Amino acid sequence: MTISRRNFLGASGGMALISASAVSGRAQAAAIPEAATMNDAVMQPPLVPTTGPDYQPVVTLNGWTLPWRMNGDWKEFHLVAEPVVREFSPGMVGHLWGYNGQSPGPSIEAVEGDKVRIFVTNRLPEHTTIHWHGQLLPCGMDGVGGLTQPHIKPGQTFVYEFQLQKSGTFMYHPHADEMVQMAMGMMGFFVVHPKDPAFRRVDRDFVFLMAAYDIDPGTYVPKVAEMTNFNMWTWNSRVFPGIDHIVAGKGDKVRIRFGNLTMTNHPIHMHGYDFKVSCTDGGWVPEAAAWPEVTVDCAVGQMRAFDFVADAPGDWAIHCHKSHHTMNAMGHDVGNFIGVDKKEFSKKVRQIVPEYMPMGTAGMADMGEMEMPLPDNTLPMMTGFAQFGAVEMGGMFSVVKVREGLASGDYKDPGWFKHPEGTVAFEWKGEPKKAERAPEPRFDTKKTAEVRVVKPGNRPIGGHDNH
């Protein structure tokens, strides 16, 4: 459960008070705001601003936005680094590290020019820091442990203070024991809205972070030393079919922002539309320079945003275009048995294991349709169903649902798209028409080509043949 912004701003009696000496930061940060927390993996409504500059708030897939309070002219937030339990999809959870009850942590939203004060309390078993990825700020607020600040030890609270110098798409993550802490899920989104409410404004603004985990079936903790063989490719530490759908009304201007904290790049592809890449973690792409795409690659450590007008109703897939990133719990040592007749082999195996079922002889699609028993705490490699059957996906896959007549603040799942009659691909049952061969081209063999041959010795060097 989280605290609403209205209650948060007015709930001074509910604040946890700490003496200034207990905070490793500036002395005026004498009272720490209460740390809101969230355990629900369902997308929460956007946190609409009620004071200060107007902006269109973001919606975090399977997540939420961190409330704040105003203290003079400072906007104050409180992040708590702590162990969390995150549901990847119904049937599987991971024991991760995150912030304020979730991995990734809550999205932070503010406005260009805001002075932000962010308290960070460490409830991890080891020290940590936070780096504000892409922000322009004083070096001592950059969050690199040992280089720009002391580490935040377990039980300590530090405070970061800086003014937001530019709007755009950013993130936060540790810069301490980075291999372990980011591999355990410590990350979050940071969106800075333009000071001018009309600048590049959209009607719906969605965000997610990409992370990868290797969690063996029957276990709960990621292998932090893994570099290549991940089995859970996630958006906001969720996999298909557990990733929220992206819902928009017909005619809405939509922005989708994402960042990559995995160990490889991700070409994000959306069906049904072309879009324009509008923003990176370096800033806004000038409108005249925004380039059209249907797939945009996002390298490690990068942020990308693209905009489109939702003018084509339907259920449109959006996913990473690396095929093994749209699967769950992949076994990397599985052999390829396509074309192998395993009938006689299966008979012998069933004498020992009566429930044995041969798989993979004709491909892997049958795995998406069969709900086979699984080991504890894992997911099928291919799963999910829609109105026409098995979707045969996993990992980094979701659906952009565009509907007519959707209210501006309505983000609820509208169900599957009702296709107009005659607009769904169908089986052809008639006789195929015999193809007629095009007439072959005719050539006049009576004409001959005149070829003039000049001996190399007859051409002057550097000159022309005048003969």
Q: Which of the two residues, 22 and 150, has the higher pLDDT score? A: 150
* Candidate from 45-54, 154-163, 396-405 with smallest mean pLDDT: 45-54
In whole angstroms, what separates CA 292 from the centre of its chain? 20
Domain co-membership, 310 together with 370: no
Please indicate, yes or no, whether residues 204 and 233 belong to a single structural domain of this protein. Answer: yes
316 and 339 part of one domain: no
Residue 16 lies in a domain: yes
- Which of 28-32, 202-206, 324-328 has the weakest average pLDDT? 28-32
Q: What is the pLDDT of residue 13?
A: 31
Which residue range forms the structural domain that includes residue 370? 332-377
Q: What is the pLDDT of residues 12-35, one digit of tens each?
A: 333 333 332 345 445 455 589 999
Percent of the chain with pLDDT strictly greater than 90: 72
Lowest mean pLDDT among 148-152, 206-210, 328-332: 328-332
CATH of the domain at 295: 2.60.40.420
pLDDT of residue 451: 56
199 and 90 share a domain? Answer: yes
Please check whether residues 344 and 237 belong to one and the same domain: no
Q: Please tell me the predicted confidence (pLDDT) of residue 455.
A: 65
Number of domains in the chain: 2
Q: Are residues 283 and 373 in the same domain?
A: no
Assigned domain for 442 exists: no
Picking from 207-216, 242-251, 348-357, 402-411, which range would have the lowest pLDDT averaged per residue? 348-357
* Residue 410 located in a structural domain: no
| For residue 211, pLDDT beyond 90 | yes
Q: What is the pLDDT of residue 12?
A: 31
Q: Is 341 within a domain?
A: yes
Please tell me whether residues 282 and 225 are part of one structural domain.
yes
Q: Determine, yes or no, domain membership for 143.
A: yes
Same domain for 336 and 193? no
Write the pLDDT tens digit of every residue in 384-437: 999 999 999 999 999 999 999 999 999 999 999 999 999 999 999 988 777 777
Q: What are the φ/ψ torsions at residue 323 (nearest 5 degrees)?
A: -60, -35
pLDDT at residue 270, as a whole number:
98
Distance CA 435, CA 94 (A): 57
Answer yes or no: is pLDDT of 163 > 60: yes
Are residues 301 and 365 part of one domain?
Answer: no
- Asked which of 281, 299, 320 is the last residue of a domain, the reply is 320
Mark whether 99 and 218 lie in a shared domain. yes
Tell me what the pLDDT averaged over the chain comes to: 87
- In a domain, residue 325? The reply is no
